[in-house]
Chain A
C-alpha cells in the first residue's frame, strides 16, 4: 500500500508591523531606519547610506559634536512627524539604533 505523504505547510512570515506617525502616515521599522539613514546622510556629506548602521555612534562613530547632533531634531520632526526633545537627543540618543528605536516607540500602532 502506498503511503500518503503528509505535507506540513510552511508558516508564512508575519507581515511587518506597521505604525503611524503623528501625521497618520504608516511606517514599518525598516522604513524608519531608512529614513533616519537618509537624514543622517543629508546632514553630513562625509557619509553614504552604506556607511550607516544601527550601532554607529553619532559622536564616536561619525565624529559629530553635540551641537551638530542637535541638527537631527528638525528633519526628524519634518520627515517622520515625531518630536524629539533637545535634551533627550543630546543625552540619551547615542547611536543610530537609539534614534530609530525612540522614533519607532513614539509611533502609534496602526
Chain B
C-alpha cells in the first residue's frame, strides 16, 4: 500500500520538530524519502494493514500543529486500503437491520451503495466489519467482507471528504450543545459536560480523516469544563 501526501509548505524551524515527525513515521513503519526545510514533501510507503492507516495523517497533522505553517489547509494521506462490507438483509424482522445500521453508524462507515459500506482498513475496522458480517448471516442475510483499493486518488478523496463532512456535523453539534450548556445552572452544566465528553470520545473514534472541527469541539468542551471549575472554586 502506498500512502502519499500532497506537497505541503512548512517552516520547520526546529530540527526537533522534524525529529518528532521522523519518529512518528518510524513507529508507523513508513519510509520518508525527502524532507527539506522550505517544503515538506512526504512520499511514504505506508504501514501494513495491522496499523491504523489514519495514523500517518495524524503524525503529519501533529507535526504541523506544533508550530509549522501549513501551505494547504488539509493534509490528505491516502488510506490506500479500505475494508468493504457487502450485505443484504431480509426486510423483516427489522431488529437486526436496526442493529446493523446502528453499529455501522457508530463505526462511521461510509455508504457507497445500498448494502455496500466502507471504512479505512485497520485491524479494528476489519474485525468490526467481520463481526457485523456474521451478525447479518445469523439474521438470515448474506454478507461478504473485502479489502480493496480505490481505483483513483480522486475517488478516494471524494469519499474521504464526505466522511469528513459528516463527522464535521457531529463536532458542530457538540460545539452547539456546549454553548447552550454555558447558560445552564452549574449542576446541569456538569452533567452535560460528562455526556458531551463521552460523545466527543465516540466521535473522535470514527473521525478517520481528522475533520477540521475536531479542535474547536475539543476547545468548546474545555471551555465548558473551565466554567464548571470556576463556579466550584
Whether chains A and B associate is no
Name B residues whose Cβ lies closer than 8 Å to a Cβ of A.
none
Name A residues whose Cβ lies closer than 8 Å to a Cβ of B.
none
